[in-house]
Amino acid sequence: MKFVSQGVLIVALGLGLGLGASLPAAAQWKWRDNGGKVQYSDRPPPASVPERDILQRPAGQRSSAAAAPVAASAPESAAQPPAPKAPAGVDKELEERRKKDAQEKEAQQKAEEERIAKARIENCARARSYQQTLDSGIRIARTNDKGEREILDDAARAKEAERNRQVIASDCK
């Protein structure tokens, strides 16, 4: 029985030490640096950071403004530091990012249109070349599904020529 209670005591002591060691980790500072970015640390911000830019303090830490006595003639709202505002640079960065995204999207769309136009021109040139071959009267051979070679007769040549004219009409505008 004495051995079991010592084990429980050791476990309880271990838990207590673990919880005690984790308390400083919960002490977090949060402030906005000169560039407008939010910083987190377990150490206080540098002295160059103004009081209004400190967004969060660990429990038990007092601000220097709160530690200073407030004059009785000052209004109550003046004693409290103003709420932190987003720096003007953030809005500019957001606008610049939106403009850049819009420009990139426009450039991609233009590149796609150019690619389609180029493919249409190539298809047109191929179709016109093939039409010249069909109109020349030389023999045209194809390979069928079985891998056999077939020569186009006059009816097949006329049908192929009509199909090719439709391709030229659609791609050569």
Q: What average pLDDT does this structure show over 21-29?
A: 63
Which amino acid does the sequence have at 72?
Answer: A
Cα dihedral 89, 91, 92, 96, rounded to 10, equals 140
| Mean pLDDT to the nearest integer, 118-129 | 91
In a domain, 6, yes or no: no
- Could you give the residue ranges of the DSSP H alpha helices within the chain? 2-26, 64-67, 76-79, 88-136, 154-171
What distance, in Å, lies between the first and last C-alpha atoms of the chain?
98
Structural domain that includes position 144: 89-171
Could you give the CA distance from residue 93 to residue 115 in angstroms, rounded to a whole number?
A: 32
Any domain includes 147: yes
Contact 80, 52 (CB under 8 A): no
- What tokens appear for 91 in the block? 């809005």
Give per-residue pLDDT as tens, 10-24: 777 677 666 566 555
Report the number of distinct structural domains present in the chain: 1
pLDDT tens-digit map of 101-112: 999 999 999 999
- Is 11 inside any structural domain? no
User: How much of the chain exceeds pLDDT 70, in percent?
Assistant: 69
